[in-house]
Structure 1
């Protein structure tokens, strides 16, 4: 798709846009020209989109200032901007002061506790070392007497051994004096308290069920020690074993002992591939490091020994957006053709690939929507994840049956693309309204309230069957395709974040309506996927096939 308002001069992209006629005199020129300071075409489009929004905001502000004070509009605009800045400053100042005071109070409390613990610990060590020093002095005097009397050598040697042992005892007491400030409870003893604390924050999350087993696996590997005795080397030992562990090791080798799985896999003629670094970092090591962070916060240990430990196969140069890659046009066409031709038009396996591509929604969001959430506003169809239709939902429904979204930012509107409508999706929705219940009633929630657990495996298997599978590509990659399409359509980043359910950073998150503006909706509906063939969906819609 052609991108407006940019052109290339030499090796650098520039932004150029005509100024509205009524503002020529105010700006002093008929056009805005500015270097985008990049040779990258995609980055240039994104920066140009930001500048387009900034120009529109400026023009609106100037016109409003002219209305407020025709004689001195610049003064009116300045006073308006200053007033808004003061309002933000006044609203943010009390909160900032409270945060600062709370931070200072926490620091002072921690310092007081630490100083008291140090004083108590030092006093205890002095009390234990003093008698040893006294006894050592007595033995030193005795040793000089024996040597002066030319006592038997074995008696002198025995006394020297006793003195050496006392010296080592004193040295150990002094060296461990600092460590003894911290908890001597074993990790297994503190694990229930940690799990109880996490249960309050994670509630019914699926992640809660994996915490205990992962930490127990760590204990099984490096031993159950007093928490103050764990060192970075222990975390790295666990990491090194994980780097050798085959994927799906528990199911494949029917064992709960990770070292047994590693040994059994090594004996295979064709060993199973090792777990992915991301699985190791996010599914194993993060649980261990989070546990030690809690121990540090609750002052059971001095510092987290796992900080910075990741899989040895994690690429430190990999960008965050390289964890998952979008489908190529050819692979995406294969997958859509397979889904359209081999799946029933009343099954979620048929509709979810197309919906994920053109909405960018998370799989679990699409799996649990009801027909009433497909709404029409001003002639435009939307998926409404914003409205709580049943005000008693929280009290009436068990947690596993409520609309489960990733965060508050995920409550949003998502425009339906014309291609989704042309594929017959609205007919499917109307049939769902008559039937009642969720749009995809055959999908059932798991014990944690997620509707996507089972079907995600089927969808990814379809990708393989279609011949569209490649490294770092999965069903989630459709969300990446959607994000790239927003960029290519010059959709502003703020609008893109809103429609994808991302948290909007900074003060701008506090402004504007949660409803999408008409201009935002139109910009999103302009997205396209060049060279991606959706004809199989359109032909089945025309044919009216239901099977």
Structure 2
């Protein structure tokens, strides 16, 4: 596993990349890169999660991974390497794999590091899915009047419940993000470039769940999401505004939704809007396997991964499907989501 030649002077970024490659070799051996698999990636995560968080500084800098693990145990160090840092390591490893892809030394679309899911290790795992009883409360109780209408409330909740998208990603949806790929209507979750003098519109989904294409569930189409998009000005949800220190579009809705569910007696801190993502993940991962089941990789793709740096206006997700990757697999994932009969988007919107 040889790194590409670097002819520029060393800097912190290059030093980190070299360190990541060194640790990978310590754990998995120096083998031809095409021989590495998810098994090796899993071993890397397992080992690196046991080393001290400051392993690259001071007297620990020259220790091997095995020595670092022993050092952490011996000194009872609790501040170990975080998932966020290991995820950053995978980003560096993915860059190396892409380098070899361009040289045709590894198979395309086989990047072990790019397709790895860290979802179960990231912040947010403390949340739980919505119970049927609590979902019924959302349906049967009136949404408080105000600037954000019941119609907007219903569609945002509907999208969250059937896609598992994060709230900010839903609130950022533009009419041009509703696209048709080979006859399949999808949300195109991609980087947003701001219009003139509107810097708050700049947004990169890679900080959340990654660029991807999300097939639109038939229940959302029945609730006329396509007509909604057609009549929208720019963003799907024109009632929302940018607010808060980080200028997010989800702040106003998120606060009102939290107050609403608390008034309904759903006061648990583990049941929030983000919990819809857990409903989707839990149901999909419990889908029976075999010939009628869905693969874990398809679920991870549906819920979102990071696919590397994207400098153009067309998302990597769209390019992957236009290049021939089978969209039908992800459609199968999307359409596998089901709820009890009472969970009706039109009722949530106040239009049933």
Spell out the pairing of 1:12-23 with structure 2 (5 A cutoff): none
Which of 295, 301, 304 is the equivalent residue of 1:492?
295
| d(CA) in 1 for partners of 2:181, 2:22 | 50
RMSD: 4.5
- SS at structure 1 position matched to 2:245: coil
Q: Match for residue 359 of structure 1?
A: 163
- SS at structure 1 position matched to 2:342: coil
List alignment gaps of at least 5 residues for structure 1: 1-92, 108-291, 311-318, 505-509
Distance 1:454 1:536, change over 3 A: closer
Spell out the pairing of 1:161-240 with structure 2 (5 A cutoff): none
Q: Match for residue 308 of structure 1?
A: 78
| d(CA) in 2 for partners of 1:371, 1:511 | 17
- SS at structure 2 position matched to 1:514: helix
Per-residue deviation, 1:513: 5.9
Distance 1:375 1:331, change over 3 A: same
- SS at structure 1 position matched to 2:187: strand
Question: Would the aligned equivalents of 1:340 and 1:537 in 2 still touch at CA under 8 Å?
Answer: no
CA deviation map 1:209-264 (0-9, x unaligned)? xxxxxxxxxxxxxxxxxxxxxxxxxxxxxxxxxxxxxxxxxxxxxxxxxxxxxxxx
Question: Would the aligned equivalents of 2:186 and 2:214 in 1 still touch at CA under 8 Å?
Answer: yes
- SS at structure 2 position matched to 1:529: coil
Q: Match for residue 336 of structure 2?
A: 527
List alignment gaps of at least 5 residues for structure 2: 7-13, 24-51, 62-70, 81-119, 288-292, 308-315
Distance 1:103 1:381, change over 3 A: closer
- SS at structure 2 position matched to 1:410: coil
| d(CA) in 2 for partners of 1:382, 1:375 | 5
Residue 288 of structure 2 corresponds to residue 518 of structure 1 = no
Question: Would the aligned equivalents of 2:154 and 2:345 in 1 still touch at CA under 8 Å?
Answer: no
Q: Match for residue 110 of structure 1?
A: none
Question: Would the aligned equivalents of 1:491 and 1:524 in 2 still touch at CA under 8 Å?
Answer: yes
- TM-score normalised by structure 2 residue count: 0.56
Question: Would the aligned equivalents of 1:358 and 1:417 in 2 still touch at CA under 8 Å?
Answer: yes
| d(CA) in 1 for partners of 2:332, 2:144 | 31
Spell out the pairing of 1:426-437 with structure 2 (5 A cutoff): 426-432=226-232, 435-437=233-235
Question: Would the aligned equivalents of 1:491 and 1:523 in 2 still touch at CA under 8 Å?
Answer: yes
| d(CA) in 2 for partners of 1:528, 1:323 | 22
Question: Would the aligned equivalents of 1:445 and 1:451 in 2 still touch at CA under 8 Å?
Answer: yes
Q: Match for residue 402 of structure 1?
A: 202
Which of 94, 114, 126 is the equivalent residue of 2:2?
94
- TM-score normalised by structure 1 residue count: 0.38
**Bigger CA radius of gyration:** 1
Question: Would the aligned equivalents of 2:134 and 2:266 in 1 still touch at CA under 8 Å?
Answer: yes
Question: Would the aligned equivalents of 2:213 and 2:318 in 1 still touch at CA under 8 Å?
Answer: no
Spell out the pairing of 1:201-350 with structure 2 (5 A cutoff): 297=56, 299=58, 307-308=77-78, 323-338=126-141, 344-347=149-152, 349-350=153-154
Per-residue deviation, 1:367: 1.0
Per-residue deviation, 1:472: 1.9
| d(CA) in 1 for partners of 2:303, 2:53 | 31
Q: Could you say which structure has the higher helix fraction?
A: 1
Distance 1:341 1:333, change over 3 A: farther
Distance 1:105 1:518, change over 3 A: closer
